[in-house]
Structure formats: C-alpha cells, structure tokens
Amino acid sequence: MVDSALPTAEVMAQCAVGVLFVILAWDAFWLTRQRNDIPEIGHLPDGGFAWKSEGAHEMIRQWGNLGSMAAMMVLPWALLDASNTPVVYAIVWDVLLTLHLISLLIPKRYAITSTHLFADGQRYSWERLRLAKRQPKRRIMLLRNGWGPFGPLPLGGDAESLAVAREYIKAMEQARKAPLLNEEE
C-alpha cells in the first residue's frame, strides 16, 4: 500500500534544488558586500587590521567543504533510477553546486576590529567567537560559540597576514578576559 501523503520524488527534488538556490543566493549577497564592509586593506585607522586572500588560500581554507560538495554532486546520479527523479533536477543541482564551489574559491576580504570580525561578508561580534585550541598551519580556525561541531570559521590568507591577524585575535581574547579577571578581584 502506497501512502499518498508522502511527497513525490519530483517534489522532493524541487525542494532540494530550491533550498540550494536560496543558499547560493544568500552567500552571493553577502559576498558582494565584502568590499563595502572592508574598503581598505592593512592596518586600519581605528586600530584594526584587514587583509585579503587569494584563490589558493581559499582552497586551503575550504578543502573540507570542497570535498563534501564533490560528493554531493555525484551522489544524486546514483539515486536517480531508484527514486524515479527526473534527470533535469540532478543537472540543475550540479550546476548550482558548481556555482557554489566557485563562490568558495573567490578571494575574500577579512577584517578585525575591536568589536567584530568580518569574514565572508558577515560580521561576527567577538563574544560569539573563540580561537580553537588546535590551530592548522596555513589558516586560522575560530569557533562560533553555541554551534558545537558545526561552528568552525576558518580564515584564509597569506602567512604574513595570518600572523598579524593571529596577534589581533589574541589581543581581542585577552581584552575580553580582562573584565572577567577584574570582576573576580
């Protein structure tokens, strides 16, 4: 007996492609804002620091996501026959994932201010971030508080920029801990 309340494979494919399209549009919107949020590179007048990455730095930064997306591009093809899903949805899925892969490799701008980190077109307050205990060699790994294992926020860039950024991040963490130490006294 077939339950008619279950959605068809085509409806599920439409939903999956629709969600992926929304994610791609959302990311594209934020990436277009990075030049507005970070107009200059180097030491900032208010004491912050801004830098930019190159495509190779983004590949190092995003290697895990790139592998996951490659698997996500292949997997639907194995399930098309079993699910009776029209091929057009797998093609659209792969096109959208390819665009998303390209967006991951686009050079990014990053900035550190006394109140926020700017990365991927987003603004993160320092209260929401912490430096991971174990740091990779060719990127900086921050963790978003409350996100558990789903909260890594890697930062890319050349070695010199990352070294300067690490010092700024450590200073932000020290400044955040200082009021707590004063309260204990």
Beta carbons within 8 Å of 137's beta carbon, 6+ residues apart: none
Asked, for residue 168, whether it belongs to a domain, the answer is yes
**Total domains in the fold of the chain:** 1
Amino acid 23: pLDDT: 94
In tens, the pLDDT along 16-62 reads: 999 999 999 998 998 888 888 899 999 998 889 999 999 889 998 88
Rounded CA-CA distance 172/115 in Å is 8
In tens, the pLDDT along 115-139 reads: 899 998 889 999 899 888 888 888 9
Asked, for residue 132, whether it belongs to a domain, the answer is yes
Amino acid 112: pLDDT: 94
Q: Out of 60-64, 110-114, 153-157, 161-165, which region has the weakest mean confidence (pLDDT)?
A: 60-64
Q: Where are the alpha helices (DSSP H) in the chain?
A: 9-37, 55-61, 63-83, 87-105, 159-184
Asked, for residue 28, whether it belongs to a domain, the answer is yes
DSSP assignments along 79-115, one per residue:
HHHHHT--HHHHHHHHHHHHHHHHHHHS--EEEE-SS
Domain hosting 20: range is 9-184
- Which residues share a beta bridge with 142? 131, 153
Asked whether the predicted pLDDT for residue 98 surpasses 60, the reply is yes
Give the confidence band of 12 by pLDDT, cuts at 50, 70, 90.
very high
Asked, for residue 50, whether it belongs to a domain, the answer is yes
Asked, for residue 1, whether it belongs to a domain, the answer is no
pTM over 0.85: no
Asked, for residue 4, whether it belongs to a domain, the answer is no
Rounded CA-CA distance 160/137 in Å is 12
